[in-house]
Amino acid sequence: MGKLKLSFHQNEQRSMAAFGTQFMPQMALSQFDGRKWSAPAMVSSDHISLHPGAHVLHYASTCFEGLKAFRHDDGSIHVFRMDANIARLQQSTELLALPAFAADMLEQMIRQALEAFSNEVPEPPGAMYIRPTHIGTEETIGKAAAPSATSMLYVLLSPVGDYFSGGLKPLRLLLEENGSRCAAHMGMVKSGGNYASALQPIMRARASVQADQVLFCPNGDVQETGAANFMLIDDNEIITKSLDSSFLHGITRDSILTLARDAGMKVSERELSVEELIERATKPNAEAALSGTAAVLTPVGTLIRGELEYQVGNGQFGPVTQQLRAALNAVQWGQSEDRHGWLKRVC
């Protein structure tokens, strides 16, 4: 497959586009016909063919992943924690009763796509965002209580810069204590329906109190935002919800916690109430942050509860958040030792 070549001017324009709005012109794709998977192939990424009665369009049989490939100083391309993302997509696939796929097939597809467009992986701090997606394709509207017998797995590539186009700044979070991001048994699934269910609360929060995101705290239990995991930093301790089925098991979350332990910090994965959150977050040196593939580690400056606003620490991008974000980037960019074997060279 030939590689798309763009001029420097075109690359510069593309890097200024909104995160996730530009795509490579081809993607890797395989289809399950009810018996076997087709050989992965590179196809046009500007469309897919689906019957209007496709299972995914009616019963939301869809899951996806988000991971990144980074260009190192020697020009080599490395994917960050590919094995973990593939395993999580397999888990989501199982929980949604979609046809199972082999991990090595998806790795082959990711490599195939990256090798075709290796010249287009941006220099740091940019990256190539990778979006494997699995959808049910069976042509039926009579299977509301049964899984799709056929499916499609594809890998989109999107060159990206900073997730926050206006630059990194502390976020405002509205605490939502009366609702959850998604159904509790679906929290571990990275599915489009979970994100859609959070849209109305997020839109209301933006309109009413100019919040950037909603921190879902059903019955006072601090969980996650609409698109990222939440962490509270109190001196040398990081506090975040312990893993259960109610929220997404973030791979960036796990990476940050591992780096924090490496740095000698205390990591507490446990229940965190809204009352304890506010008590600790308002200390002078406290920090809070959101973690995710796109956002990396983004500071939180304000918590909003009802009509009251609480400044987190000094309301700024705190030093611990900065250090942990920089430590993660250094591994991803090949500037520090990959002690945990997170990077996999693809070309």
- Residue 287 corresponds to which tokens in the numbers above? 């920090």
Q: Within 10 A of 50 (CB to CB), how many other CB atoms are there? A: 14
Give residue 125's pLDDT: 93
Q: Using an 8 Å Cβ cutoff, are 120 and 75 in contact?
A: no
What is the three-class DSSP state of 137? coil
pLDDT values of the chain reduced to their tens digit, one per residue, 347 residues: 333 333 333 444 444 478 889 999 999 999 999 999 999 999 999 999 999 999 999 999 999 999 999 999 999 999 999 999 999 999 999 999 999 999 999 999 999 999 999 999 999 999 999 999 999 999 999 999 999 999 999 999 999 987 765 668 999 999 999 988 888 788 889 999 889 999 999 999 999 999 999 999 999 999 999 999 999 999 999 999 999 988 899 999 999 999 999 999 999 999 999 999 999 999 999 999 999 999 899 999 999 999 999 999 999 999 999 999 999 999 999 999 999 999 999 99
Over the range 298-322, which residues count as b (16 or more CB within 10 Å of their CB) and which as e?
bbbbbbbbeeeebebbeeebbebbb
What is the three-class DSSP state of 188? coil
The distance from CA 248 to its chain's CA centroid, rounded to whole angstroms, is 9
Q: Using an 8 Å Cβ cutoff, are 331 and 263 in contact?
A: no
What is the three-class DSSP state of 210? coil
With the C-alpha atoms ordered 186, 192, 82, 95, is the resulting torsion angle positive or negative?
A: positive
Q: Using an 8 Å Cβ cutoff, are 274 and 303 in contact?
A: no
Give residue 14's pLDDT: 44
Helix/strand number for the chain, H first, E second? 8, 16
Q: Which ranges constitute the DSSP H helices of the chain?
A: 8-15, 55-59, 82-95, 103-116, 192-209, 251-262, 274-281, 319-332
Q: Helix 251-262 to helix 319-332 angle, to the nearest 10 degrees?
A: 110
Q: Using an 8 Å Cβ cutoff, are 316 and 184 in contact?
A: no
